[in-house]
Chains A and B, each alone.
Chain A
Amino acid sequence: MAQPARPAAGYRGQNGAGQQPYSNGPVQNQLMHSSDGQGYSPSVPGSYSHQMPAKVPPHQSSGQYNYSGSQIASQLSNYQGPGQILNRPTVAPLSGSPVQQTGSVQHVLPPALQNSAAVSSAGSFPAGASSPVLSNWQYSQTSVSHPVGSQTSHLAHVTGTVSTQPPTSLSGNTNAPGSYQYAASPGGPPLQNNYMKPGSAPPPVTQPLPPLHPPSRPPLGPPPVGGPPLIRPSTLTAAPPNNSVSQSLLNSSANQEGDGTSAASDGSAIQNSYDAIEGGGLMATTHQSPALQNLKMGRSVGYSYPNLPPGYQNTSPPGAPGMQAPALQYPDGSKSFHQPPLGPNHLTASMGGLSLQQEGLRPVNLLQERNILPTTILQAPVPNLHEDIQKLNCNPELFRCTLTNIPQTQALLNKAKLPLGLLLHPFKDLSQLPVVTSSTIVRCRSCRTYINPFVSFLDQRRWKCNLCYRVNDVPEEFMYNPVTRAYGEPHKRPEVQNATIEFMAPSEYMLRPPQPPVYLFVFDVSHNAVETGYLNTVCKTLLDNLDLLPGNTRTKIGFITFDSTIHFYSLQEGLSQPQMLIVSDIEDVFIPMPENLLVNLNENRELIQDLLKTLPQMFTKSLETQSALGPALQAAFKLMSPTGGRISVFQTQLPSVGMGALKSREEPNQRATAKDIHLMPSTDFYKKLALDCSGQQVAVDLFLLSGQYSDLASLGCISRYSAGSVYYYQSYHHKHNPVQVEKLQKELKRYLTRKIGFEAVMRIRCTKGLSIHTFHGNFFVRSTDLLSLPNVNPDAGYAVQMSVEESLTDMQVVSFQSALLYTSSKGERRIRVHTMCLPVVTTLSDVYLGADVQAIMGLLANMAVDRSVSASLSDARDALVNAVIDSLSAYRSSVLSIQQPGLMAPSSLRLFPLYVLALLKQKAFQTGTNTRLDERIFTMCQVKNQPLVYLMLMTHPNLYRVDNLTDEGALNINDKTIPQPPILQLSVEKLSRDGAYLMDAGSVLFLWIGKNCGQNFISQVLGVPNYGSVPQNMTHLPELETAESMRTIAFISWLREQRPFFPILYIIKDDSPLKSSFLQNMIEDRTESALSYYEFLLHIQQQVNK
C-alpha cells in the first residue's frame, strides 16, 4: 500500500488522516504488532522481542500496521493536544485565549517534529532498528498524556492545583473561599470514587498468586484510567493478587454464562443485519443476574474507599494488604452504596472548572450589556470534571453536549427548559488519531460498549463498564501494553488513554467481504443542463482528480447520463472508445448489459479519460428538454445494488417524466406568508428509493444546479435517507455566474478527494438512565440507537436529542459513546470510537452553569427544521422564541434569589437570545419574500447535516475589521503569521466608513470596503489606485508584496483552510448589488420583517416578566 504521505498542512492534508498513520507510524507499529496482534505469550513478557523479527515481515507486506499513535500535529487547532490543559471559553477572566492557544501550539509541536523525523526514517526500517526512535516516541507519549509518578507526585499535583487557586478565585468573585475549601478537601472527590478501585470486596482469600501475574509485576503506580491524582494508598495494591482469584472465579462463572448467550445471539444475528455486527441488542436477560451481582459488588467496592477517613488513606503502612481494607469496607458497604453523589467531597474541581463556575453563575443583565459578544471565537465550555479526566475527554469539536452538567432527573431537566442532546462530528478529519489493531477488541459483555478512558479498573483483571456498570474481565492480551512495553498495565493501553480511537475490525465485524469503492456519476444532459455548461466544469474537475479518488486497485467507476432517455456507457476493455447504450423505456428501466458499465478505474483509465473529455461535447446539440431523473436513479440503483457505493447525481431542473416526476409548487406571491409553503416532499418516490439504496449500502449525493424551482424538498429525500449530501448552486451558469463555477470546482474537488467510509453503521450509546429519542442528520435510523450510513463523509454532522429516563441518582458522571463502523476506501473494516464523559448535577443553577449555548442553538435549529416540516414555519419560529423565554424565565424564577429589574440571564446563556435571533434571521427560518423555496430548503438541509462549527458561522457570521491588521496576538502556523483581529458585533454601528471589514459567513466571505477607506489599504491590499476603481465583481485579492496584503491574504486563507467547503470572497462597495446580503447578516440590526437585537430583548423581557 503505497499511500503517499501527504503534506500534513491544511485540511487537504488531513484528507488522508486515517491513512496517514500507516505511512508514518511503522516504527511503533512493528513493535506493537509482535506484541498484541499475534499470539505472544503473555506469561513471559520478555519473550516478545524474540518473536518480533519473525512476526513483522508478513505484516509489513500486507501493509497493516498495528498501532499508530503517531502525532502528526498538522492542524493544531483541530485537535486539542494533550498538552493543552484548559480549553476554557473566553468568558473566564484569566484565560486570555489567544495567548493560550499559541501556548498549546508550541506545546504540541515537538512531537510533530519528532514524528516527522520518524517518518523520514521509517519507510523501510528494519524491525530491530526501531528502538531509538521508539524510545523517543514513548517519551513523548508518557510525558504528554498522563502524569506519571507515584503517590507523592499526585499529592504534589493536588497541592499544585490548590496553590494556584487563589489568583483564580480572586479574579473571579466572592465565592472564592468556599470553592477553595472544596478544592482543598482531600477526602476523595467523587469522581475519584468512580475511577479508582484498587481492591475488591470479597472476603480475603489467601490463595496462591495466579500464575498469570508475573512475579515482578510493577506496583500499581499511577492510578488506572487516566489516573486522576489519587489519594489512595499505594499499599493497597497488594490486595488485588489475593482477591482477584476469588473474584475472577466468580466472574468467570458469570461470564461463561454470558458467553453462551452472547455467542448464541451473535450467531443468529450476524446473518441478518449489520446491527448485530456493530453489536447492539445483546442485553440478553440471562446476563442480568450475574451482571447485577457483580455490579453491586463493584459498587460497594468502588464507593467504599472514600469513606475511609482521609488520614487512613495516606498513612496505611505499606504491605498491610487486603485484610484491612475489606474489614473496613464491610460496615461501609451498604451505606456507601447509597452515598449521595454530591457529598461534601464533591467539586474537587480543576481551576478551570472553578473559575468557570464563578463566571457562569454571574447573572448578566442582557439589557445593560451592550457589548455582549466576545472578541475571540467562543470555545466550548469545559465540563466540571477532574482535570485529569477532563484531559482525556473527547474533543468538543467531535462530540458535544448541550448541557455539560447533566441534570440528575427528567424533572430537573424539564425545569431548566433547555434541550438535552448531543452534537456529533464523528468522521471529522483528524490530524492525530491512534489506530489499534488487536485480535480482540475489548468490549463490555452486556452493552457492547468499547473500553474507554472512563471505565474503572476494579483491579488488574477486571474493569467496570461505565455505561451499564457491568464488571468485565480484562482479556489476557489486554494486560500487555504495547506503548510502554510493560505487562500488567491495562489502564495505560491506548484504548484507555484516548477518548477518540480507531480500531481495525477483525472479520467478526463484517457481513460480507469489505466492498470495493464504487463511484457512479449520473449527469443530467437535457437541453437545460447543457445550457448551464456545468458538464465542462464537472468533467474537467473529475479528470483532474481521477487519481485522487480515495480507493485502491479495486476502485470501480461508472457513468450514466439522462434526458428523457437513459444513456449507459460501456467501458469494456479493448474498445477503442466508450460505447453508448440508450435505454428509452423509462417506465420499466433495465440495465442493458450486466458488466462493463462499472469498470475498474485503474485498468480502464484511458477509456474513462476519453469519455470524460468527450462527454461535454456530446450533447451540445441536444434539444430534449425533458428530464427523467427518477428512472435514471432507479437504473443507477440497479447498477449499484450488488456492491454498494456512492452515486453522485447532477441535476439542473425539475424532473418531468417517468417515475418521480414533479410539479412546480412554488408560488412566488405566497413567499411572504410563512404559511402554506411546501416543505414536505410531494411524493414518496425518492424516499422509498433512498430506503432501498440504504438497504443495499448505496448513498446518493445530489448536486442541484438549477435556476428555477426544482422542488428540493422532494429531491432532497434521496440524499437524506441514504446518508448522502446535498449541494445547491443556485442559478449556475458557466458564463453568467463565474463565481458559482469556481465554487463548484473547489467543492467538487473536496467532494471527490475527501475521505469516505462505505457500508457504515453508527451506534450511540449512553449511560443507563439516559435515552436517545430523536436523531437529526442524513441517515436512516434502523433501530433505537443505530444509524445506517451507506456512506459516511468527514463533513457530516449529526445531532441527537436525549431524555433522562431513570433518574441518575448515585452517579457522579455519565458517559456517551459513539461507535462508527465503516469500510475504508482501502477496503479495511474500521471502527472509530468517541467517548465523552460529563458530570451529573442535582441543582438547577449547576445545570445552567454548564449550558453550552452554541450546542443548544445547534440542537434547537435541528428541532426547528423538524418542526417547520411537520407543523409550519411560524410554529418553528415561535418555538425558537419560546425556548429563550422559557429558559430565561425558569432561570429567573428558580435560580435568581433576588429579583432584579432587567432581563437576567446566566452568564453561560448570555448569548442565547442573540443566537436565537440569528436563527430567526437565517435563510431557513426567516420570513419575507426574498428567500426562494429551494434556497430555504437547502439551508434546512445544511442545518441538519452541517457540523456545529459551520452551522454557527452560517447562522451568526464573524465580522472582523481588516484594514488595520497587526501582528499583535497573531497565530504562527507553519512559519506563517496569521493575524487575529477581534470579532465585532454584527451591527452597522460597528462599521465605519473609513475601514474595511471582513464578514465570515461560513460558505461566503464578504469584504466590505468603506467609502473613505484608507488609501493605504486600497492600494496595498486591493492593488487598485482608489476607491472608485475597485471593480464591481471582484472576488479575488491580488497577491502583492506588501505586508498588509500578506497579512490579509494569510488571514483569509487561514479562514478558508479551516473548512471543507470553499467560501467565495466577495469584495463589495457601497453600491454593490451584494450589499444587501451583507447587510442581511447584520443580525443585531432591524430589518424590514425582523426585530433588532434590542427590540428582541425587550420582547423577551416582557414575556419573561409576565
Chain B
Amino acid sequence: MAFTFAAFCYMLSLVLCAALIFFAIWHIIAFDELRTDFKSPIDQSNPVHALVLPEYSIHSLFCIMFLCAQEWLTLGLNVPLLFYHFWRYFHCPADSSELAYDPPAVMNADTLSYCQKEAWCKLAFYLLSFFYYLYCMIYTLVSS
C-alpha cells in the first residue's frame, strides 16, 4: 500500500473524467437543442466551442500523465481518441477558433447527426474509462 505516482494519476484523472463526462452531456444537450430548433446555430455554437478546447487539453493531459506514469495499457486505450482530437483540431477551417463545429455547416442533417453521434460515443467512452480509472486506482493502491 503506497501512494505512487500512478495512483495519483488515476485519482486526478478520475476527477477530470467526471468533468469530461459533464462536457459530453453538455454537448449532447446542445446539439439536441439545435436539432429541435430552440436556438440559432450562431448563438448555439458558442457554448459548444467554449468547451471543445478544454476537453481536448484535459484529455491530452491524461495521456501525458499516463505516459509519465508508464501506464502503457491505459495510454494505449486513450491514444486513439487523442489522435482523433488532433485530427479534428487540425482539420478545422483556417485560423478558426470554431473547432470543427462550423455554424453554417452544423445544421446540415449529416453534420448534425455526426456531431451527436460523436458526443454520445465520447460519453460512453468517458463513462467506461471513469470506472476503469476507479478500478485501476484501487488496484494500484492495493497492489503496491
Contacts and interface: CB of A to CB of B under 8 A. Distances in A.
Contacts of B107: 781-784
Given A681-B94, A684-B93, A721-B104, A695 B112 contact: no
A784 B109 contact: yes
A285 to B, nearest CB: 11
Contacts of A775: 108
A533 interface: no
Contacts of A687: 104
A691 interface: yes
A82 interface: no
Interface stretch (A1-9, A766-774, A1016-1024, A1030-1038): A766-774
B109 A683 contact: no
B108 A680 contact: no
B37 A684 contact: no
B104 A682 contact: no
Interface in B57-106: 93-96, 98, 103-104
A771 B93 contact: no
Interface string A273-292: 10100001100000000000
Given A774-B109, A784-B109, A684 B98 contact: yes
A280 B96 CA distance: 31
B6 to A, nearest CB: 42
A773 B104 contact: no
Interface centre among A691, A721, A775, A783 (most CB of B within 10 A): A783
Contacts of B104: 687, 691, 721, 780-781
A784 B110 contact: no
A394 B116 CA distance: 36
A784 B37 contact: yes
B117 to A, nearest CB: 14
Contacts of A281: 36-38
A157 to B, nearest CB: 43
B35 interface: yes
Contacts of B38: 281
Nearest to B98: A684
Contacts of A275: 37
A245 to B, nearest CB: 37
Contacts of A781: 41, 104, 107-108
B46 to A, nearest CB: 12
A784 B111 CA distance: 11
Given A273-B40, A281-B36, A691-B104, A680 B109 contact: no
Contact of B108 (A695, A721, A773): A773
Interface in A636-693: 680-684, 687, 691
Given A784-B107, A784-B109, A691 B42 contact: yes
A447 B109 CA distance: 19
A558 B42 CA distance: 28
B37 A681 contact: no
B94 A773 contact: no
B34 to A, nearest CB: 8
Given A281-B36, A687-B104, A781-B107, A681 B93 contact: yes
Which of A281, A682, A771, A780 neighbours the largest number of chain B CB atoms within 10 Å of its CB?
A: A780
Contacts of B37: 275, 280-281, 783-784, 786
Contact of A680 (B34, B41, B42, B93): B93
- Interface on chain B toward A: helix, strand, loop, or mixed SS? loop
A1041 to B, nearest CB: 56
A700 to B, nearest CB: 15
B103 A680 contact: no
A275 B96 CA distance: 28
A780 B107 CA distance: 9
A771 B108 CA distance: 11
Nearest to B96: A684
A774 B111 CA distance: 9
Interface in B107-144: 107-110, 112
B45 to A, nearest CB: 10
B41 A782 contact: yes
A774 B98 CA distance: 21
B40 A773 contact: no
A713 to B, nearest CB: 11
Interface in B11-66: 34-38, 40-42
B109 A771 contact: yes
Nearest to B103: A691
A682 B94 contact: yes
Contact of A784 (B42, B94, B103, B112): B112
Nearest to B43: A695
Contacts of B42: 691, 694-695
Contacts of B36: 281
Most buried by A among B36, B96, B107, B112: B107
B28 to A, nearest CB: 17
Contact of A772 (B34, B103, B109): B109
Interface in A689-733: 691, 694-695, 721
A1089 B89 CA distance: 37
A684 B109 contact: no
A694 B42 CA distance: 10
Contacts of B41: 781-783
B70 to A, nearest CB: 40
Contacts of A782: 40-41, 107
A323 to B, nearest CB: 46
B103 to A, nearest CB: 6
Contacts of A780: 103-104
Contacts of B34: 783
B31 to A, nearest CB: 11
Nearest to B40: A782
Given A773-B109, A781-B107, A684 B95 contact: yes
Interface in A777-811: 780-784, 786
Nearest to B106: A781
A413 to B, nearest CB: 15
B95 A683 contact: yes
A350 B109 CA distance: 37
Nearest to B102: A687
B94 A680 contact: yes
Contacts of B35: 784
Contacts of B95: 683-684
B135 to A, nearest CB: 41
A281 B35 CA distance: 10
Interface in A897-931: none
Contacts of B98: 684
Contacts of A786: 37
A446 B42 CA distance: 27
A774 B36 CA distance: 17
Interface in A335-390: none
Interface centre among B38, B40, B93, B98 (most CB of A within 10 A): B40
A456 to B, nearest CB: 28
B144 to A, nearest CB: 50
Nearest to A781: B107
Contacts of A771: 109
A941 to B, nearest CB: 15
A774 B113 CA distance: 12
B42 to A, nearest CB: 5
A782 B35 CA distance: 10
A680 B108 CA distance: 18
Contacts of A694: 42
Contacts of B112: 784
A773 B110 contact: yes
Contacts of A684: 93-96, 98
A-B CB proximity, top 6 nearest: A773-B109, A781-B107, A281-B37, A783-B37, A684-B96, A774-B108
12 contacts: A280-B37, A281-B36, A681-B94, A771-B109, A773-B108, A774-B108, A774-B109, A780-B103, A781-B41, A782-B107, A783-B37, A784-B109
Given A691-B104, A782-B41, 4 more contacts: A273-B40, A683-B95, A781-B108, A783-B41
Interface of A: 273, 275, 280-281, 680-684, 687, 691, 694-695, 721, 771-775, 780-784, 786
